[in-house]
Amino acid sequence: MTFKLITDSTADLDENWVNDNDVEILGLTITLEGVTYETVGSQRLTSDVLLESMKNGGKPTTSQINVGQFEESFRRHAEKGEDVLYLAFSSVLSGTYQSAVMARDLVLEEFPEAVIEIVDTLAAAGGEGYLSMLAADARDQGQTLQATKLMIEDILPRLRTYFLVDDLYHLMRSGRLSKSSAIIGSLVNIKPLLWLDASGKLVPLAKVRGRKKGMKEMVAQATQDLGHSTAIVAYANDLESAESLKEQLLAQDKIDNVLIMPLGPVISSHVGPDTLAVFTIGANAR
């Protein structure tokens, strides 16, 4: 193995995959009804529990990974002489990336020869997970840390992230979307389609009447000018719709493989119940 790969619990990676591929996951925390929960480990808060609480009026808040957590991880690998590539949750959506940079600087003072590379993915959920899977595959094929980092940085402007949100209230409440943008979510049967633009900002893309039309529009947007044949579908407590999205994506000429993964608790706390998402990689930047 040429280097250690680290990412966040916001990448929503399957625990079995993480263990099989020797990827380290650092967890953000969630405070729900006065109790703070971890998002990694055996006692982690699950999306099912979180979403049920949100349906009943729960208002979770999330906290970034702090400098101390990163410092402990980076120092542990530096002591072993292991090079590190950390793929970070979008700096536009969280202060986690900045915490990692601060921690790296502290560890490099103590271990100046250490190699700790950090990439701001400007991504979240299945997009961040997609990048992590590609990085792990490159590493396992013998690619160097620098070559893998360059590959990921080349993909970043071509990574496409689309969210079909049932209710924009949760994004407004958490400060990820302005109140004026969220107003459209209150219109009867209007399903807002959002995407992460080139700067990593979550912005409204379309207003679609009805969930089925929203799903169709999301597939149309996600499959323009494709550069990779794999797509990822993510969902918050609506597996049936996720399966439908998979079928629609596989009906496209350039899609050969679709992975379905549940949205983890951190992202779910911002987008809310019944959210769907699609992640693809384009041939060109948009």
**CATH number of the domain residue 177 falls in:** 3.30.1180.10
Q: 127 lies in which domain range?
A: 4-156
Looking at the domain assignment, is residue 133 inside a domain? yes
Same domain, 189 and 274: yes
Is residue 146 domain-shared with residue 254, that is, in the same domain?
no
Q: What are the structure tokens assigned to 22, written together?
A: 């020797």
Output the pLDDT for position 176. 47
Q: What is the pTM of this model?
A: 0.92
- Burial group, residue 284, by CB count within 10 angstroms (0-12, 13-18, 19+): exposed
Q: Do 34 and 145 fall within a single domain? A: yes
What is the tally of structural domains in the chain? Answer: 2
Please tell me the predicted confidence (pLDDT) of residue 210: 86
Q: Which amino acid is at 140?
A: D
CATH of the domain at 42: 3.40.50.10170
Q: Domain check: are 166 and 140 in the same one?
A: no
What's the confidence (pLDDT) of residue 187?
Answer: 53
Residue 286 falls within a domain, yes or no? no
Is the separation of the CB atoms in 191 and 208 below 8 Å?
yes
Residue 149 CB partners (closer than 8 Å, separation 6+)? 85, 117, 119
Question: 122 and 179: one domain?
Answer: no
d(CA 94, CA 46): 20
Residue numbers of the chain with a pLDDT score lower than 70? 1, 168-189
Based on the fold, state whether residues 144 and 244 are members of the same structural domain.
no
Last residue within a domain, chosen from 122, 138, 156 = 156
Local structure of 49: helix, strand or coil: helix
Q: What is the pLDDT of residue 98?
A: 97
In a domain, 183, yes or no: yes
pLDDT, tens digit (0-9, with 9 covering 90-100), for 105-163: 999 999 999 999 999 999 999 999 999 999 999 999 999 999 999 999 999 999 999 99
